[in-house]
Amino acid sequence: MLSKSNISQWSDTDVLSGYRSDGAPHWIGEIYRRYSHLVYGVCFKYLRDKHKSQDATIAIFEKLMADLKVHEVATLQQWLYTVTRNHCMQIFRMESREASKLGEIPSETDQTREEEWMAMQMREEGLRALERAIEQLNTPQRTCVKMFYLERKSYKQISSTTGYTEGEVKSYLQNGRRNLKQMMQAIA
């Protein structure tokens, strides 16, 4: 039985359910405790300013109070990352519009920042394409690729978890990598 006294031990899913059921702010407080440092890190990665990143982090968690009552969230960490990235993109676009309205000529720093932003967007699109490609692999290849590359498990750990022999794990990884390479080349 879950009690509110040990909320820090609850899963994200249970915390979200608790928030949806009674809307009490301590649920958002727990999410803040778990993820504020990650949200701030993503904000800083995009905004490159300590104060703007702090303000954005607070704004995101204020927005969550309404959004989490409406949206069904499967994986909180991934959802938060997407919300944070979109929030930062919105800030960036707003700043760019304001600068152009004032007739400001973009400084070299602004141009560099915009180029970095575009490069980041391209990398993220590439990662999304890679995620879609991984989902197209057959089950053994997909399982082994995810466990080896995303979860950083060894051949032996994958073997003991899945029941595949270490030789099969190696083969699934090799074939999975080859198939991913082909899929990614077809996209490019």
Provide the pLDDT for residue 1.
47
> Looking at residue 123, what is its pLDDT?
74
pLDDT of residue 41: 92
Domain boundaries, the chain: 10-105, 108-188
Output the pLDDT for position 14: 92
Q: Which CATH class is domain 10-105?
A: mainly alpha
Of 92, 70, 79, residue with least CA distance to 19: 70
Name the class of domain 108-188.
mainly alpha
17's enclosing H/E stretch is helix 12-22
Q: 0.75 cut: is pTM over it? A: no
pLDDT of residue 142: 93
pLDDT digit string, tens, across residues 42-55: 999 888 889 999 99
**Can you list the residues of the chain whose pLDDT is less than 70?**
1-5, 97-118, 188
CA–centroid distance for 185 within its chain: 24
Q: What is the DSSP string of 85-141?
A: HHHHHHHHHHHHHHHHHTTPPPPHHHHHHHHHHHHHHHHHHHHHHHHHHHHHS-HHH
